[in-house]
Amino acid sequence: MVAARAGGMHASQQQHKVAIIDFGSQYTQLIARRVRELGVYSEIFPYTADAGTLRDFSARCVILSGGPESVTEDEAPQPACDIAALKTPVLGICYGMQWMASRFGGEVEAAGHREFGHADIEITAPTRLFDAGAGGRLQTWMSHGDRVVALPPGFSGVARSRGSPIAAMADEQRGFYGLQFHPEVTHTANGREILRRFVCDIGGCLPQWRPGGIIEDSIRDIREQVGDEQVVLGLSGGVDSSVAALLIHRAIGDQLHCVFVDNGLLRLGEREQVHDTFARHFGMDLHTLPAAGIFLKALEGVVDPEQKRRVIGGLFVDMFEEKARSLGDVRWLAQGTIYPDVIESASAGREGARLIKSHHNVGGLPDKMKLKLLEPLAGLFKDEVRKIGAELGLGREVLDRHPFPGPGLAVRVIGEVRGEALDLLRRADFIFIEELKNGGFYDRVAQAFAVMLPVKSVSVMGDGRHYGFVVVLRAVETDDFMTARYARLPPDFIEGVSRRIVNEVPGISRVCYDVSSKPPATIEWE
């Protein structure tokens, strides 16, 4: 079993803080991010957290997240502690509101008209939570099947929508509020202002949280956790593992041994870039393991993306442990795990959540692993990680790179992973990214990549008919990666990228562009 798992951010007792009780919503981590964007530190606790744990955290206010369950069910998630006894303002969002209504004597029922997506609400009474008075309207994002139909004693209804007679409720005297909609998503107009009013105006929190202070705290924590023991880190070249490497190296120097596994599933030129940045520029102890053949052999016949992740994660751990033994008495495996990795990895232990996908950092580690885990970024969001990386001296060519999945191109080759498909995809993806940069679009989209489909399509080149692979180009716009819309790139630009790929990558005959948004689609195709 994993002997220990260390990492994450911890605020001082003097700092104003917000506790977020997680009922399993896919947006829970987004709530935490929004609070931190206000300059206020937040941490997430499972609904099973006891009163002592929450009291020790000393939160000035509490937010109850949404969740996939129904409060009307017998086995519905219930907080392990008495939320009212914490004597702090409380904001319930979606399931959190429904639980508050049920807990304090109101009534919740299954809605005849479920609301998913955009919904306009009408403010029916003034409240400290909204900047608009009665009669005002607000565009929100709903995602619920139940609704509150009778208010608990002491609460008043302050908003309604077409499907929810009580879309928001408030007990101003106790500082208890409920929202049927999600203020944390960008689709809710003034959602951040609603959260600011609760956290700062009602909860009394001051903006004392600054990512710049994370470095000193992290270095201290890493030194305390590791002591004089040796650490091995899997360096992929992506933002997360790169920043983790620099942070740990700053803390313990030569006790860190970085291992770059050339697994044959990486982007074009990845190996050379990693060596130039970390071995040559930063002077780190970097070990490169050529392992493409091993990974491709293990992936033969594997088509399910979850199985691909398990296979790749298992091989990574095996190689790290073997390398660790060759380096001497290495006790720690460091990883660049961040919050977005955890949110879609319910198998890592998030109470009440439903699995969307596992992540090789947090959901694919085998029980046989003996190394302790060091995850100094596990409590941070991508924007916070980038700010730390910039302060540590990491160049923009690394910091501004789009996200890349841990299993690499294995999950962007749909179906069985074969060497030919990987080589073609690598080149097509490189052309797409190069054209985005040349056209000034790269920094305007949050993530872009190519996907290889397991089908071939006819093409006519010269005087002959050929059958070649089909690739799909994917580019999305988002600021939180929880929701996203496809990037509206100019048709002429897409046509130019397609022409280059077909002309320069023999074996690809057709190029498509993905116009799906999230939800319902995910950003990756896996």
| pLDDT given at position 356 | 37
| pLDDT given at position 138 | 87
- Active site residues per annotation: 94, 182, 184
Bridge partners (DSSP) listed for residue 115: 144
Residue 112: pLDDT over 70: no
Residue 352: pLDDT over 70: no
DSSP per-residue letters across 189-243: TTHHHHHHIIIIIIT-------GGGHHHHHHHHHHHHHTT-EEEEE--SSHHHHH
Residue 94: pLDDT over 60: yes
| pLDDT given at position 365 | 46
Name which of 24-38, 54-68, 327-341, 379-393 the model is least confident about: 327-341
pLDDT band at 458 (very low <50, low <70, confident <90, very high): confident
CA–CA gap between residue 74 and residue 95 (Å, rounded): 15
Residue ranges of E strands in 105-200: 107-123, 137-150, 156-161, 168-171, 176-179
| pLDDT given at position 79 | 92
Q: How far is CA 193 from CA 130, 135, 167, 391, in A?
A: 8, 18, 17, 29
Mean pLDDT over all residues of the chain?
86
Q: DSSP character for 368?
A: T
pLDDT band at 64 (very low <50, low <70, confident <90, very high): very high
Residue 400: pLDDT over 60: yes
pLDDT band at 217 (very low <50, low <70, confident <90, very high): confident
Contacts of 69 (CB under 8 A, 6+ apart): 23, 24, 75, 76, 77, 95, 352
pLDDT band at 230 (very low <50, low <70, confident <90, very high): very high
Residue 171: pLDDT over 50: yes
pLDDT band at 2 (very low <50, low <70, confident <90, very high): very low
Residue 9: pLDDT over 70: no
